[in-house]
Amino acid sequence: MQYSRVLGTGSYLPSRVMTNADLESIVDTSASWILERTGIEKRHLVGDTETCCDLAEAAARNALDAAGIAATELDLILVATTTPDQFFPSTACLLQQRLDVHGCAAFDLQAVCAGFVYALDVADKFIRTGAAKHVLVVGAETISRVLDWTDRTTCVLFGDGAGAVVLGAADEPGIISSHLHADGAYKELLQIPGGHGNGRPEAAFMEMKGNEVFRIAVTTLGRIVEETLEANGLTRDDIDWLIPHQANIRIIQATARKLDLPLERVIITVAEHGNTSSASIPLAFDQAVRDGRIQRGQTVLMEAFGGGFTWGSVLLRY
Ligand code: COA
């Protein structure tokens, strides 16, 4: 039996930083409101000429270096993003060109904030079936470009960034199990309603009913962690680290409470990054690997929830 394991991680944040205080001059808000309701202190935003592929490339190169893998050894490049540079080619194909590799499969996957968890599952399945030996999985977003900067209920919550992992074939897991779900019934609560496809390109900005999203996210994430533990006959004591999607510190605290997991065992970056959608989990993962908190052999539970709604988890031994 073939499994997949994480060979290396990488991440990248654009250099421009916007603090809560900076936002006070853009919309009717206060730094203290944002901090108290979300736990966010600041976020990184792309500059005028920076694109999703720029962020993806920097994170990917870091991950390849950490894995000790040359880009030419990749069999698949997978980019989870909701904010691609252009309609097509996919950001994965643009990234492939930047990495100067030619011929391996490359495609984007769109599951909004659950995108990275979805992409890890897909990559794992490519490796388990023997279709690939090395897969680059990137979560990269320039969410700032699809925000309505006059809407205080959304623009204060998000940031830009990218994270990446290189997965490689292994005799033992690695990725132990993944659990993916979606329910398209909740479109009205969180969406970018416009697009060329429905003749409304002018409405391509995020809309959210935050309060309702919050309640459903807390319940759903509680269920997905239970589902993951049950499927593997594990208890919370078997989990060394929880890496949650970084949307709101209160959602993270609620999930940790549900697991009865002390916050010291939860990787939290929401204060510095805000919600970077599909980049949030790989950014947090890379940070905790590089600062030495997550060690080889430890068990990591990732969980995410996003527009669609989509949600899911990945349980892995690092
Ligand atoms: N600054 C100041 N006040 C704000 C504000 C802002 N940026 N945004 C909203 N408010 C106001 C509201 O207008 C409302 O005022 P009112 O009571 O006079 O009507 C008040 O604050 C409370 O709004 P509410 O939406 O109930 O706040 P909340 O405690 O639910 O926090 C969110 C709002 C968005 C932070 C929270 O609902 C949330 O995090 N939701 C989930 C978001 C999420 O995770 N989305 C992505 C999923 S991947």
- Going from the Cα of 249 to the center of ligand 1, the distance in angstroms, rounded, reads 13
CA–centroid distance, 211 to ligand 1, in Å, is: 6
User: pLDDT at residue 220 above 90?
Assistant: yes
pLDDT over 90 percentage in the chain: 99
User: How remote is the CA of residue 18 from the centroid of ligand 1, in Å?
Assistant: 19
Residue 284 belongs to domain with CATH number:
3.40.47.10
Q: Cα(73)–Cα(64) distance, rounded to whole angstroms?
A: 10
Is residue 312 a contact partner of residue 301, using CB atoms and an 8 Å limit?
no
Closest residue by CA, ligand 1 atom 26 = 211
User: Do 91 and 68 fall into the same domain?
Assistant: yes
**156 and 234 housed in the same domain:** no
Tell me what the mean pLDDT of segment 116-122 comes to. 98
What average pLDDT does the chain have? 97
Domain identity same for 155 and 200: no
> Ligand 1: distance of its center to the CA of 80 in Å?
27
Comparing C-alpha atoms, which of 84, 170, 175 is closest to residue 123?
175
Q: At residue 87, does pLDDT exceed 90?
A: yes
Percentage of the residues of the chain whose pLDDT score is greater than 70: 100
Pick the last residue of a domain from 104, 139, 173: 173
Give residue 223's domain range: 176-317
Instruction: Give the total number of structural domains in the chain.
Output: 2
Rounded average pLDDT over 93-102: 98
> Which residues lie below 8 Å from residue 183, measured CB to CB, with a gap of 6+?
308, 309
Which residue's CA is minimally distant from atom 44 of ligand 1?
247
148 lies in the same domain as 226: no
Half-sphere exposure of 120 (CA within 13 A, CB side): 34
pLDDT beyond 90 at 258: no
What average pLDDT does the segment 166-191 reach?
Answer: 97
Whether the predicted pLDDT of 1 surpasses 90: no
Question: pTM to 2 decimals?
Answer: 0.97
Q: Whose C-alpha lies nearest to ligand 1, atom 3?
A: 29
Which residue type sits at 126?
A: F
3-class DSSP string for the chain: CCEEEEEEEEEECCCEEEEHHHHCCCCCCCHHHHHHHHCCCEEEECCCCCCHHHHHHHHHHHHHHHHCCCHHHCCEEEEECCCCCCCCCCHHHHHHHHCCCCCCEEEEECCHHHHHHHHHHHHHHHHHCCCCCEEEEEEEECHHHHCCCCCHHHHCCECCEEEEEEEEEECCCCEEEEEEEECHHHHHHEECCCCCCCCCHHHCCCEECHHHHHHHHHHHHHHHHHHHHHHCCCCHHHCCEEEECCCCHHHHHHHHHHHCCCHHHECCCHHHHCECHHHHHHHHHHHHHHCCCCCCCCEEEEEEEECCCEEEEEEEEC
| pLDDT, tens digit (0-9, with 9 covering 90-100), for 19-53 | 999 999 999 999 999 999 999 999 999 999 999 99
Out of 173, 193, 225, pick the residue that ends a domain: 173
Q: Looking at the structure, tell me whether residues 185 and 166 fall in a common domain.
A: no
Same domain, 194 and 236: yes
Same domain, 139 and 218: no
Q: Report the nearest atom of ligand 1 relative to the CA of 152.
A: 7
Which residues form the catalytic set? 113, 245, 275
Q: Quote the tokens at residue 301.
A: 């539970």
Is the same domain home to 108 and 235? no
d(CA 173, CA 43): 34
Give the count of alpha carbons within 13 A of 64, CB side only.
Answer: 19
Q: How far is it, in rounded angstroms, from Cα 89 to Cα 314?
A: 28
Statement to judge: residues 154 and 203 lie in one domain: no
Q: Are residues 140 and 254 in the same domain?
A: no
Write out residues with Cβ below 6 Å of ligand 1.
29, 33-34, 37-38, 113, 152-153, 156, 208, 210-211, 213-214, 217, 247-248, 275, 305-306
Query: What is the predicted pLDDT for the residue at 259?
Result: 87
* Same domain assignment for residues 208 and 148: no
Work out the angle at residue 189's Cα, subtended by the Cα atoms of residues 17 and 117, and round it to the nearest 5 degrees.
Answer: 60
Which of 173, 202, 232 is at the close of a domain?
Answer: 173
Residue 248 shares a structural domain with residue 261: yes
Could you tell me the pLDDT band of residue 222, with boundaries at 50, 70 and 90? Answer: very high
Q: Residue range 72-87: average pLDDT?
A: 98
Which pLDDT value is given to residue 264?
Answer: 96
Residue in 148, 214, 303 to alter for ligand 1 test, most ligand atoms within 8 A of Cβ: 214
